[in-house]
Amino acid sequence: MGRKKICMKVNETRGTDMATEQTPDVSETAKAKSFLKFQYVEIKDLSKQFLTVVAAVLALSVTFSEKIVNFTQAGTASRVLMMACWGLCLFAFVLGGCAIFILYNVGVRAKDTVLYKTLHPYRLWLWRSYLCLDAAGIAFVLALILLVVAGFLRILK
């Protein structure tokens, strides 16, 4: 393994201070091992906990929907907001499940990289898993906002 020098500007306003740093070349196998040891485990646990929270919020909002928005007396806006909240929760749940499935495939590809010392493109799939998790998080936050707005509309009436 060779080492290469990296030069960095420390502060442009004071001049051109240069710092050198020795960094080793890292093989794809080492990167895959590192991913499997830390990132894979943490992302998988985070995803499972996220799915648990989304399912709990969905179940509680459906169970107590008459307390949050009284459907028999509520206006159209309150009902639409509540149903949109449930739809977004379901969407977040599905995206979270997709993220876990994609993450499983990423783990298989990374493990193959470690075992067979060949490059299996797991990083592109990892990016897709992150994208699903980010979209699920955004959908869940929007669902919570709609739930709060629907509750406020009931209070105002």
Q: Alpha-carbon distance 12 to 127, whole Å?
A: 34
pLDDT at 101: 96
pLDDT at 82: 93
Domain ranges of the chain: 26-156
Q: Half-sphere exposure (CA, 13 Å, Cβ side) for 78?
A: 19
Q: Alpha-carbon distance 85 to 151, whole Å?
A: 11
pLDDT at 75: 83
Per-residue pLDDT of the chain (157 residues; tens, 9 = 90+): 454 444 444 444 555 545 555 555 568 888 888 888 989 899 999 999 999 999 999 999 999 988 888 877 878 888 899 999 999 999 999 999 999 999 999 999 888 888 888 777 888 889 999 999 999 999 999 999 999 999 898 888 7
For 62-93, what is each residue's pLDDT tens digit? 999 888 888 778 788 888 999 999 999 999 99
Q: Alpha-carbon distance 58 to 90, whole Å?
A: 8
Q: Alpha-carbon distance 11 to 157, whole Å?
A: 59
pLDDT at 20: 54
pLDDT at 112: 87
